[in-house]
Structure 1
């Protein structure tokens, strides 16, 4: 699944799935721009990629800031001349029910998860349309496919990303742009700590054993190969799809 000569942008690349995705895309041959709201973390990802012998640049941007996202993309196009792959990955999770979730938490969930993804995509589309090619991969979640307790804002925002993926795929297929999503399940990155962090290791292991057929939480490295696949020509006839990567969780 060679991506040699291609340029990729990954948002939320400073840790977790974003960092693993950036590393995997670089290993496949792409020059990767690792973007994060925290420049120090983005720079760490850049350094890890370079230490592995691959090409990378770091960038800082708040995905909810339209000017910031446009500036990052403009800089990539100015310096690299193209932009082939985007992994719109930045997101937040805050636990809460319809009665306990604060309005600020609800608004932040939609601002980062939905608005941030939308602004990322809107920033990259003009260049991809000009090229008549591009692959966009959105990090949705199994939480956008099923209902879960204590995740009203997160489930709702990720559900929006599921249909945003489909809408964009239909809208831009004729321009040579493919849009797909990955739907991680329980991934051991710390991202799920607002929901699972209160459990001690034994209780967490027992819960995972009963809920996940493969019997373990996933890792960021379990998600990254799917991002590379969806970005590559191996997936050239795939668009508008949401791929659960969840150890069988949504099959229970």
Structure 2
């Protein structure tokens, strides 16, 4: 049995190989950095290679191991290629975090086919075909972890979110299907549904930010690091009996009902 000191000093992803898409910043960047700090060797994939290289540089400056890879996840062939590159460089793949994505705020009646296809191709098609390729690689190792980044927008009818919300709802549905099909073969598949978080995809104006803050029980926006911490559990060996789950990291936003002034509750 390990001592408490040994358990405290043990890295939770020691020697694991992780592929993180959208790792040039935001949730993907924070997750890649967190995984590397826990001992994983990370492939930082992003449409913008220079941004991915910045994440790699941060990891390297902290003593971690990572490489950068350019990938347009809207292209299924490139989705397959990034998995193949990971296996070629590190001999296997243990963890996938599908974080690459794009946002769009446009009313339903103003959403054109080009907008729709762009969001769905990146958020949904790219996520699925990367997961498909990753699962095939993981089966050769006897298992692994797939983590899809969904959104609370896929659980709610947000104004202006028809394409983005639909794509994220589908991503979370795919999580459940993949979990059903793959968990018996050692691949745990889960999704994270982040709430209001300041990233490159969600820079909110003052009124929208105030509206969210009033409705988040925790009382503030979340951080990319909060999502990375949730992903760490889902990527770890501790996640041995959790699969097909949508983990809301939203400060309680999705749980809240109607709020009252405490003095009025008994009235």
- Please indicate, yes or no, whether the TM-score normalized by the shorter chain is above 0.5: yes
Q: TM-score, normalised by structure 2?
A: 0.89
Gaps of 5+ in 1: none
Q: Which has the higher contact order (CA 8 A, sep 6+)?
A: 1
Partner of 1:126: 136
Distance 2:83 2:160 in 1: 36
Pairing partner for 2:99 from 80, 89, 99: 89
1:56 aligns to 2:66 (yes or no): yes
Deviation for aligned residue 1:206: 2.7
Please tell me whether the aligned partners of residues 95 and 101 of structure 1 are also in contact (alpha carbons under 8 angstroms): no
Deviation at 1:222, TM superposition (A): 1.1
SS at match of 1:21: helix
Q: Give the count of matched residue pairs.
A: 246
Gaps of at least 5 residues in structure 2 are 1-10, 257-267
Alpha-carbon contact 1:64-1:119 (below 8 Å) kept:
no
1:214 and 2:224 correspond:
no
Does 1:190 find its partner at 2:200?
A: yes
SS in 2 for 1:137: strand
How far has the Cα of 1:101 moved from its partner?
1.4
Which protein shows a greater Rg? Answer: 2
The equivalent residue for 1:229 is 233
Match of 1:243 in 2: 247
**Contact residue 180 and residue 241 of structure 1 kept, 8 A:** yes
State the SS of the aligned residue for 2:254: helix
**Deviations along 1:189-216, whole A, 9 cap, x unmatched?**
13123xx2xx23xx35532331111111
- Is 1:34 matched up with 2:44? yes
Match of 2:85 among 70, 75, 86: 75
Residue 69 (structure 1) shift: 2.1
What is the alpha-carbon root mean square deviation over aligned residues?
1.2
Cα deviation code 1:52-95 (max 9, x no counterpart): 11111111111122222222221221221110000011111101
